[in-house]
Amino acid sequence: MHEIILCKLGEVVLKGLNRHSFEMKLMSNIRRRTQRCGKFKIYSRQSTIYVEPAEETCDLDAAYDACKKVFGIIAIARAVPCPKEKEAIFATAKEYLGPALLAARSFKVESKRSDKSFPMGSIQLSQWVGGALHDAFPHLTVDVHNPELTVYLEVREDAAYAHGPAEAAAGGLPIGMGGHAVSLLSGGIDSPVSSYMIAKRGVQLELLHFASPPYTSQQAREKVLQLAQELTVWCGRLTVHIVPFTEIQEEIRRKCPEDHFTLIMRRFMMRLADRLAHELCCKALVTGESLGQVASQTIQALCVSDDVATMPVLRPLIGMDKEEIVRIARHVGTFDTSILPYEDCCTVFTPRHPKTKPNLEEVREYEAALDIDGLCGKALAGRELIRLYPQQ
37 by Cβ neighbours in 10 Å (0-12 / 13-18 / 19+) ranks as: buried
The average pLDDT across 87-106 equals 97
Measured distance CA(384)–CA(228) in Å, rounded: 15
185 Rama class: left (phi>0) / alpha (psi -120 to 50) / beta: beta
Q: What is the C-alpha R_g of the chain?
A: 26
| Residue 151, beta-bridge partner list | 109
- CA distances (Å), origin 23, targets 18, 20, 43, 167: 9, 5, 9, 20
Going across the sheet that includes 284-286, the strands are: 313-314, 284-286, 180-184, 204-211, 238-244, 384-388
Residue 176 near residue 23 (C-beta atoms within 8 A) = no
- HEC profile for 48-87? EEEEEECCCCCCHHHHHHHHCCCCCEEEEEEEEEECCCHH
Residue-level pLDDT at 106: 97
The average pLDDT across 337-351 equals 79
- Long-range residue pairs from 257-261, CB within 8 A, at least 24 positions apart, any chain: 257/366, 258/351, 258/352, 258/353, 259/351, 259/353, 259/354, 259/355, 260/351, 260/355, 260/358, 260/362, 260/363, 260/366, 261/349, 261/350, 261/351, 261/354
pLDDT digits 0-9 by tens, 16-28: 889 999 999 999 9
Measured distance CA(284)–CA(249) in Å, rounded: 25
The average pLDDT across 302-311 equals 95
Measured distance CA(7)–CA(11) in Å, rounded: 13
Which region among 10-14, 245-249, 294-298 has the lowest average model confidence (pLDDT)?
294-298
Percent of the chain with pLDDT over 70: 98
pLDDT digits 0-9 by tens, 155-180: 998 899 999 999 999 999 999 999 99
Q: pTM to 2 decimals? A: 0.92
